[in-house]
Structure 1
Amino acid sequence: TWRRVLDEYDPPRAAVAEAWAPAPRRVLYARPTELGQAFNFDLLEAPFEPDAFRRIIERNLAASEQSGASSTWVLSNHDVVRHPTRYGLPDGTDTDAWLMTDGTTPELDRARGLRRARAATMLMLALPGSSYVYQGEELGLHEAAAIPRDLLQDPKWLRTGHTVKGRDGCRVPIPWARSGPSFGFGDAAPHLPQPQDFGESSVEAEDGDPESTLSLYREALAARRRLQQGEALTWLESGSEVVAFARHDGWRSVTNFGTAPVPLPDGTVVAASGPLDGVAPGLLPGETTVWLA
């Protein structure tokens, strides 16, 4: 039915299904004869581990090839704690329990979380198919974990008898300016309060800063547009902490999931998720992705 409606347009339209379902079922929604795409949340649910990322990529590319559906990739959305925060918490942290402490226990390593998030984003953008970016992740925003309880609006907060905060922390309006009642989102205070430090992650603060997360997204997306062609992906030999693959015309994505530097393959650096000058020449720092031509 939906395909008939979409085909009434010239050119025919595509749609994307938000279907939390296993890969074999999800791709049925995404076939060319159906909606065209379906959100794939497997990476969103994965820990920052090389084996987990590799298995998910292999499984979903195989499912897409068998069904004829386009691959999709997601790291954050409006239903989960933002991935810079997830990656900065100790492995296995119950994020619902963490939110109930207003984000104080266990302690969040904000710098490590953002470093990992930037690396994961560049890996995701190098994959075949479509990448979906959730509002604010291009600014490197963390979860707003300390929203006062009397201001929470997610129905989950009421349905659970005030035992689960819910999803408000990733739904706080993004900051556009360094200051103001809503950091540039509007002329009045927003429906959900923003953290006081949001101004330093605003578009105004990050625009023009070559080291900012906003600049990284712009650089990586522009390079992706130039480089992305076809669905081919070839895995490259790498160490146990590294995920590396080649794409069209031999450009490569190399991600070091570990903390220690690893040898950097030969090639011209197209983009990197973090600085490369903090280690000896010829090495890729830990928790960093690089694209090579």
Structure 2
Amino acid sequence: MTASRPTPPTADPDWWRSAVVYQIYVRSFADANGDGVGDLEGIRQRLPYLRDLGIDALWLTPFYTSPMVDGGYDVADYRDVDPIFGTLADFDAMVTDAHALGLRIIVDLVPNHTSDRHPWFQAALAAAPGAAERARYLFADGRGERGELPPNDWESIFGGPAWTRVADGQWYLHLFDPSQPDLNWRHPEVRAEFEDVLRFWLDRGVDGFRIDVAHGMIKAEGLPDVGFSTMTTGRRQVELLGKGRLPYFDQDEVHDIYRAWRPILDSYPGGRMAVAEAWAETPQRLARYIGPDELHQAFSFDFLDATWSAESFRKVIDTALAEATIVGAPTTWVLSNHDKQRHVTRYGDGPDGLRRARAAALLMFALPGCAYVYQGEELGLPEVLDLPDDVRQDPAFRRTGESRDGCRVPIPWSGDAPPYGFGPAGCAESWLPAPATWAALSVAAQTSVPGSTLELYRRALRIRRAHPALAADAGEVTWQETEPGVLAFSRAAGDVTLTCVVNISGAPVRVGGYGEPLVSSETLTAQDGDRWLPVDTAAWFERR
């Protein structure tokens, strides 16, 4: 492979500044071979759908060789495709077709930990304490008279201790599942390995990377205690994520890694980029991941966590835009992903939740920066809350009772019964069962239907791509005076102004003074010779 592999038609190196990126949870997007699990060929076959939706790039969750204990985030081989998803040839064909359609490809990189089936970890287990093979991971002697206690009080994000003891008495660190041992990023072989992995996929034509647990690779020297644990206080350490300092997250040395990666990305044509899944205790510390010598973006999880209120959204938006100004990089907005409950359900579920989710989409797409769409949100999919315990596969469920499977149910494409065209006719049931109520939410059921959530997304994204006031170089957000519970902001380009209004109050609001309506999440009403915006509705207006 060479770096001359074709790239998308537009060679704009700053494409990521205003892109709409569609996240694909590969197991749950489209199944081409009928085994009930999504695959790369299924994605390739559905690329025209994604082009017509109006997105700019795809982010694929891990498809690498893996035992699939954590849905592929336990990687055994970073340079190959797991057979359940296809082959490297399938990946290359998908990239070629995506680029031909003007779509870019972002792949997930998982550098904090490997699978316990990775050859390095297998060699570490076979070696004696203190051997070179163990130095690539974080092995340590235990505490207590005979080393029977873990080396410190660190907890797994998935619940329980973050240490597992091996047969010879040492312990190894795993901030997630025991099948996901943490790498020692102070080891030069680890750093060299991942720099080569970056080049491997860049040579195959990928346009960017989403860095999993980007804040986690460096642990504090000496592996000090946190000072509290679930066992001693009833508080889980994960509650500090994004709110306080933990000795295993957001250490200053992690930035040395990204300063080494950025020249690699910059050495390839077409604007190759990286986005961090990073949590930090302050906006200022999160902003350190972004810059001309580190990563291009970091997810704005505060937007995802905002409550359905004008005050919450206004605070989150103002904070994110201020951070963007500091670092000179665009904000990334996200409403749902594969780790969080779908926002239809977070906003109230049922008709109320769907109406609010549609309004939130228009709010997000009107903001400056990059927007990330999680597969199925364009269909208005809710969280599946009633999956039987025996079908759940999230490793966190076994340790804490909490499960992310409800947002990972395969999306419906067509038909009146599960699995709704997820695979070929007569194929196996999908790996997670789809609800019997999803027929009306399928792609086929919503296509060309006025007012459907799918057509709302398509229309909004067409306008977003074409409208001068929503371009990357358009004016910044200007807030308008409004009634309590209403958000309204404008962006301008020359003599064209677009205003987004979101009604989160308890009553319809008058919107006749904002200009001509372009799109609205629910139908505007007329009364007293004026336009009114219904409750839990957003609309875009244009003034020339």
Report the TM-score, using the length of structure 2 for normalisation: 0.48
1:132 is aligned to: 372
SS state at 1:209 partner: coil
Q: What is the CA distance between 1:184 and its match in structure 2?
A: 1.0
> What is the one-letter code of the residue matched to 1:271?
V
| Cα distance between partner residues in 2 of 1:225 and 1:207 | 20
1:92 is aligned to: none
Contact 2:344–2:357 (8 Å) recurs in 1? yes
1:18 is aligned to: 277
SS state at 1:246 partner: strand
Matched residues, percent identical? Answer: 48
* Larger CA deviation: 168-177 vs 270-279: 270-279
SS state at 2:519 partner: strand
User: Could you say if the C-alpha distance between residues 192 and 278 of structure 1 is closer, same or farther in structure 2, counting changes exceeding 3 Å?
Assistant: farther
Contact 1:242–1:256 (8 Å) recurs in 2? yes
2:412 is aligned to: 175
2:431 is aligned to: 191
Q: What is the CA distance between 1:226 and its match in structure 2?
A: 1.6
SS state at 1:31 partner: coil
Deviations 1:71-94 (A, max 9, x none): 110111111110011111xxxxxx
| Cα distance between partner residues in 2 of 1:142 and 1:198 | 10
> What is the one-letter code of the residue matched to 2:335?
L
1:292 is aligned to: 541
2:296 is aligned to: 36
* Larger CA deviation: 176-185 vs 57-66: 176-185
SS state at 1:243 partner: strand
User: Could you say if the C-alpha distance between residues 272 and 76 of structure 1 is closer, same or farther in structure 2, counting changes exceeding 3 Å?
Assistant: same
> What is the one-letter code of the residue matched to 1:169?
G
Contact 2:501–2:539 (8 Å) recurs in 1? yes
| Cα distance between partner residues in 1 of 2:447 and 2:366 | 23
| Cα distance between partner residues in 2 of 1:144 and 1:232 | 38
SS state at 1:189 partner: coil
Contact 1:259–1:285 (8 Å) recurs in 2? no
User: Could you say if the C-alpha distance between residues 152 and 279 of structure 1 is closer, same or farther in structure 2, counting changes exceeding 3 Å?
Assistant: farther
Q: What is the CA distance between 1:278 and its match in structure 2?
A: 7.4
Question: Any unmatched runs of 5+ in structure 2?
Answer: 1-259
2:479 is aligned to: 235
* Larger CA deviation: 174-183 vs 139-148: 174-183
Deviations 1:212-251 (A, max 9, x none): 0000000001111122122511111111111111102321
1:277 is aligned to: 525
Report the TM-score, using the length of structure 1 for normalisation: 0.88
2:397 is aligned to: 157
Contact 1:181–1:188 (8 Å) recurs in 2? no
| Cα distance between partner residues in 2 of 1:175 and 1:82 | 15
* 1:216-255 paired onto structure 2 within 5 Å: 216-227=456-467, 228-229=470-471, 230=473, 232-248=476-492, 249-255=496-502
The Cα RMSD (Å) is: 1.5
Aligned positions, number: 270
2:335 is aligned to: 75
> What is the one-letter code of the residue matched to 2:355?
R
1:27 is aligned to: 287
Contact 1:261–1:279 (8 Å) recurs in 2? no
| Cα distance between partner residues in 1 of 2:512 and 2:302 | 28
SS state at 1:58 partner: helix
Contact 1:116–1:288 (8 Å) recurs in 2? yes
| Cα distance between partner residues in 2 of 1:151 and 1:180 | 19
Deviations 1:118-171 (A, max 9, x none): 1111011100101100010000000011101111111011112xx33x100000
Max radius of gyration: which structure?
2
Contact 1:73–1:124 (8 Å) recurs in 2? yes
| Cα distance between partner residues in 1 of 2:420 and 2:518 | 33
Contact 1:245–1:254 (8 Å) recurs in 2? yes
Question: Any unmatched runs of 5+ in structure 1?
Answer: 89-107
| Cα distance between partner residues in 1 of 2:480 and 2:449 | 33
User: Could you say if the C-alpha distance between residues 202 and 235 of structure 1 is closer, same or farther in structure 2, counting changes exceeding 3 Å?
Assistant: same
Q: What is the CA distance between 1:181 and its match in structure 2?
A: 4.6
> What is the one-letter code of the residue matched to 1:159?
R
